[in-house]
Amino acid sequence: MAISKYKNLKEFDGHALVVELNEPSVDLKGFIAIDRKADKFPALGATRLWKYSSEEDAINDALRLAKLMGKKSAMAGLPYTGAKAVLMLPEGGIKNREEYFKVYAQKVNELSGQFITGTDVGLTDDDLKIMSENSKFIIGMDVPAAYYTAVGIFYVIQASLEYKFGSGNITGRTFAIQGLGKTGYELLKLLYAEGAKIFVSEINTDILEQVCRDFPLVKKVLPEDIHKQEVDVFCPCAMSHSVNSRTVSELKCTIVAGSANNQLEDEAVGEKLHKLGIIYVPDYLSNSGGLISVVDQFENKKHNDERILLKLSKIPEVLRAIFLRSEEEQSSISGVADGMVQEFLNKEVRVGVRSY
């Protein structure tokens, strides 16, 4: 599809490729966006299944998330470019998931390895298995990516607490976790085991009640109130833009660090956080553990826990460098991080997550 068709869209920012997916026989409709191309390396990004209100919303989401994946890869020291696939959930749901994802995998094959993908919101392990059986360009099978994402977040939370309070100790610290999906749940387990005091919210009441049974010391809060809790750390682990022009002034936390993508509505919100003295861990750094884990599998055919954890242990070093530069330049953490990513891309150098 000619890229010029998408140049006037809100989230278009020099993307290299946008592919429209359309297969009426299985009600498949969606888009694949690639941020930029590299001569020797493919673009990596997961596949999301979501109920979008319009095609334009879906395309913009793909464009926005592809750009974010590019930042995440650069910040993680990886040579791959960013991409994202979004699939529009049909009215009434998917009639035959096996056929649906088989057809989707065949669409991925048509890109001849330019795009490597796995699972995001809306996809299950069974969906991933079907995709893997029909395409060699699928990653993430048998990799507990949500766990590794949570470990990365745990590490940056410790680094942020140490930066702010002089100690990274989790015990007794207070947290508000927004969303108890795959990564939010894994983060909850890690924090709970360390004696944290935790508020949670989740729109799926069945999941929420199960969590309250499994973790009896957590306190449930209405979704619209979770960001208003007076806590040390607010953890956005749901959908995009949870920190926006409305909610930013309602925050009563010291640190924002979570697994959600595109947590900030725009850079103006990042500036507002800076003025409020709230530490914001850039989402494409805090949630990079999942990408690092599936890339480990992609590069080595099989993931290795020790190897991945060693890479994740480098993430706080990158965050400390961002904190230092933010102090030196008297600039927002989000703005400094974006600037560093652009420098890495322009110079084709990468930060130290891989330098072990």
Do 3-71+80-134 and 145-287+317-347 have matching folds? yes
pLDDT at 348: 53
The tokens describing 97, both together, are 């998931």
Please list the rounded mean pLDDT of every run of 10 residues in the chain (356 residues): 79 93 97 90 96 96 95 92 97 96 98 96 95 98 96 98 98 98 97 98 97 98 98 95 97 98 95 98 97 97 97 96 97 96 72 38
Q: In the annotation, is 311 catalytic?
A: no
Residue 316 contacts residue 306 (beta carbons within 8 Å): no
Active-site hit among 29, 71, 72, 84: 84
CATH of 145-287+317-347, one of 3.40.50.720, 1.10.3720.10, 3.30.360.10, 3.40.50.970: 3.40.50.720
The domain spans of the chain are: 3-71+80-134, 145-287+317-347
Binding residue numbers for NAD(+) = 179-184
Binding residue numbers = 179-184
Q: What is the CATH number of domain 3-71+80-134?
A: 3.40.50.10860
pLDDT at 2: 62
Whole-prediction pTM: 0.91
CA separation, residue 112 to residues 2, 106, 220 (Å): 18, 10, 47
